[in-house]
Amino acid sequence: MGMTRNHIRQLLSGSVMAACVFSICAMADAPARAQGAAAPARTLAPIPEGDVNALIKKYGLIESKQTAKEMVPDWTKPKMMLVAVDRPDRLAWLQKAVPDVKLVAVRQRGTPAQNVAEALPYAADADAFVGAQPPRLCIEDLIKAAKNLKWIQEPGAGIDDCRDASPEIAAGKFLFTDGTKLKGNVAENLLGMMVTLMRAEDLQVKMDLAPHIQRPDFGQRGWQIAGRTLLVVGLGGIGTDLARDAHALGMHVIATRASSHEGPDFVDYVGLSNELPDLIGKADVVAVAAPYTPETKGMFDAAMFARMKKGAIFISTSREQLVVEPDLAAAVKSGQVGAAGFEINIGPMHEPEGLWGLPNVLITTHQGAPLVEAEGAVSQNENLWVMMRENMRRYTAGEKMLSVAEIAKRGY
């Protein structure tokens, strides 16, 4: 039930073609000073160029049916883009994809009010807000000020924060693209919760609290994973990744999605959203990766938990609004739900109602532990940047876009 509410952090500098508000090189590369002593500058690894075609194939990035010219009323070649960057040399790397577009950089810094105040003077001239990571640019005051805005690129899979920040975004006024297929770390956290609860590792780890080995009371848990049935609620990017991993572990996978019955070969059956009440009773594990929309709000309530197999496991990475938390707590206490795992937001923290301290409940921070990639591996963050740069190029050329969200039609 993770929820991110990241805000814009502070306008820093432009690119080769952008007017400098602050000096990127001076702020990011100059030696830091502490108590009058200079510290050595941080050395940044070179930015990998990336292979966008390989990325599209690997993650199944969806290309829009229409071009940017066709999707955006009165489309014209953009003159300026406001870009959230993570490092001082990022803009030069992006600039190569759009050499004739002015880029103005935004970086994380200051309070939300300070961030908005710094960015406001530049928002009015922006044709696009783009970013592969925080600070997020879909802030209501910035949207209102951006009179030329036509396209928004956001990094996250859950875009309800943006949708709810602006009536114009909710109405679909802007072309909106996101990073929904590139959030593999979320699926990994779901997989970790699922295996932990199926094998009752959450009970065994508490043995560390005692000075001697003590066999826990496992009850009906400690399941063999192979042969169990997983229901994935929301077969998007995160749900598909989890389904693939579960299938590899020998589980039978069924799923629901809002769009169609189509799904990958490793999913035995894909039902529409209205089939959830019938499918949920077939699953040993129910994993929720559905978006937060008016239709999904409160969908997991006492009645839905009563339809689950008695003792089945419930895990979720979706927004907390999808679950009636007191109902989940009651279902865990009664044994109707054998165990539950979910993510919570840590900024600001969401307090799960009635679930703190319950045995058989596992709570993690949103997306779990920070990612530490294997040596030589391309990070998820860099994959987001590669996709974003390609979308910058495509939008500037008026071509088909990657990962378009249908906010007005579906809410995500």
Is residue 117 included in any domain, yes or no?
A: yes
Overall domain count for the chain: 2
Nearest residue to 140 (alpha-carbon basis) of 132, 131, 149: 149
**Strand extents, DSSP E, 1-109:** 10-14, 33-34, 37-38, 63-67, 80-84, 102-107
- Residues 388, 253 share a domain: no
- Residues 239, 147 share a domain: no
Is residue 37 included in any domain, yes or no?
A: no
**12 neighbors 114 (Cβ within 8 angstroms):** no
- Residues 206, 274 share a domain: yes
DSSP code, position 124 = T
The C-alpha atoms of residue 412 and residue 406 are separated, in whole angstroms, by 6
pLDDT of residue 189: 85
**25 neighbors 88 (Cβ within 8 angstroms):** yes
Full domain range(s) for residue 337: 184-365
CB atoms within 10 A of CB 111: 11
The predicted-structure confidence for 160-186, as pLDDT tens digits, reads as follows 677 777 888 888 899 999 887 776 567
The predicted-structure confidence for 249-305, as pLDDT tens digits, reads as follows 999 999 999 888 988 999 999 999 999 999 999 999 999 999 888 889 999 999 999
Contacts of 324 (CB under 8 A, 6+ apart): 298, 300, 301, 302
Is a pLDDT exceeding 70 seen at residue 33? no
Q: What is the mean predicted confidence (pLDDT) over 105-134?
A: 78
Backbone angles phi, psi at 148, to 5 degrees: -100, 5
Is residue 5 included in any domain, yes or no?
A: no
The C-alpha atoms of residue 161 and residue 3 are separated, in whole angstroms, by 9
The CATH number of residue 301's host domain is 3.40.50.720
H-run or E-run covering 129:
strand 128-131
Tokens of 30: 């100059």
The predicted-structure confidence for 368-410, as pLDDT tens digits, reads as follows 555 565 665 556 778 889 999 999 999 999 999 998 988 767 7
The C-alpha atoms of residue 2 and residue 342 are separated, in whole angstroms, by 8
The predicted-structure confidence for 202-250, as pLDDT tens digits, reads as follows 777 776 666 666 666 777 778 999 999 999 999 988 899 899 999 999 9
Nearest residue to 386 (alpha-carbon basis) of 237, 182, 239: 182
Nearest residue to 13 (alpha-carbon basis) of 131, 86, 105, 91: 105
- Residues 218, 131 share a domain: no
Burial of 243 (0-12, 13-18, 19+ CB in 10 A): buried
- Residues 148, 21 share a domain: yes
- Residues 55, 119 share a domain: yes
- Residues 105, 93 share a domain: yes
- Residues 151, 66 share a domain: yes
Question: Rounded to two decimals, what is the model's pTM?
Answer: 0.70
Tokens of 248: 């590899």
Is residue 105 included in any domain, yes or no?
A: yes
The C-alpha atoms of residue 275 and residue 282 are separated, in whole angstroms, by 12
Burial 138-154 (b: 16+ CB within 10 A, else e): bbebbbebbeebbbbbb
